[in-house]
Amino acid sequence: MLATIGRGIVSVIPARRLVVIVAALSPIWLVSESAAAFALAVVAVAVIVDLLLLPAKWQVAAQRIVPANVGLGDKERGEYRVKSNAPRVLHFSLFDALPSIVESPEERGTMHDVSPGG
């Protein structure tokens, strides 16, 4: 059970907005102890807000669709389908560890959007 809880905590990836907040508040630690306590409180609130804004695991599904068999030298297309049941638009980057021989029409890490219920 403890391993499951640990996996759940580690599997949360902070959004860019949280990284920006932490970076912006980091110099405040050098000012004073009370300013550092304030900065820590702001970061704690930002972490809670960030966790609340992330979709639940059951709200997002990704499916890779590729042909079952592909011969060497054949050109086939594959696609990803991402579905969201989250109540707001999700912005995401999709990364996959494909073999080097597989070419993608898009650069790795391209931002995509999926509409609620889409």
**What is the residue extent of each domain of the chain?**
2-53, 57-114
Residue 62 has what DSSP assignment? Answer: E
pLDDT at 3: 56
Task: State how far the Cα of 34 lies from the Cα of 22, in Å rounded to an integer.
Answer: 17
Among 84, 92, 82, CA closest to 112: 92
What is the distance between the alpha carbons of residues 33 and 55, in angstroms, rounded to a whole number? Answer: 35
User: What would the two tokens of residue 74 be?
Assistant: 């054949």
Q: List per-residue pLDDT tens for the chain, 118 residues long.
A: 555 555 555 566 667 778 888 888 888 878 888 888 888 898 888 888 888 878 888 888 888 888 788 777 777 778 888 898 888 888 888 777 777 777 777 777 788 888 887 7
Can you give the pLDDT at residue 64?
84
pTM: 0.58
The two tokens of residue 39 are 């900065």
CB–CB of 66/78 below 8 Å? yes
